[in-house]
Copies of this chain bind each other. A is one copy, B any other.
């Protein structure tokens, strides 16, 4: 398959994943953003700002170059494009990034932002994460304080990714969850596993 055909396939998978996230109500009120890495150096295809991600089609994605310029597509790129870049830079193996807001990731991110991290451990489902082969594994999920200063936020994200190089996602307090993977299918598998575990942990904490 040519590189172009491969990207077209990934973009279709990204749109399908966005539709699925919307059906779960994981991208409320036009929130969330999704991207795949382009074939040219430092190019990414990312969802535009303000679009209802559940209705996203391949033609909606914007191709952004290294300088942040929109190379193709209509609309404003997500303000969070720089955060996607940080992840692609620190994780050269990542080919897709998903960012969603769920009730449970919102609750947990607020609960753990002081500690700066939450742990997921002992679950068989952790084996769905790349590189993990046992339930006796501790996934370290960094929790960053949110800010509207995106330069600062990018710096916090960079720091978190370097601190926990094996992590599969990062929480922003009151600002959703970022996860990535080699391809869209991997990112989606990570998202499903981690959001499931956020709900399990959340019900333990916010119950009695």
Contact = CB atoms under 8 A, between A and B. Distances in A.
Contact of A175 (B124, B174, B192, B204): B124
- Give the interface size bracket for A toward B: 35 or more
A136 interface: yes
Interface in A107-150: 107, 110, 122-125, 128, 133-136, 146, 148
A200 B128 contact: no
A29 B208 contact: no
A207 interface: yes
A172 B124 contact: yes
B208 A124 contact: no
A203 interface: yes
B148 A103 contact: no
A193 interface: yes
Interface string A166-205: 0000001111100000000000011011001001101111
B204 A107 contact: yes
Contacts of A172: 124
A123 B174 contact: yes
Given A31-B125, A208-B208, 16 more contacts: A28-B196, A29-B125, A29-B190, A31-B128, A101-B125, A103-B199, A103-B203, A107-B200, A110-B122, A124-B146, A124-B172, A124-B176, A133-B148, A134-B148, A135-B175, A204-B206
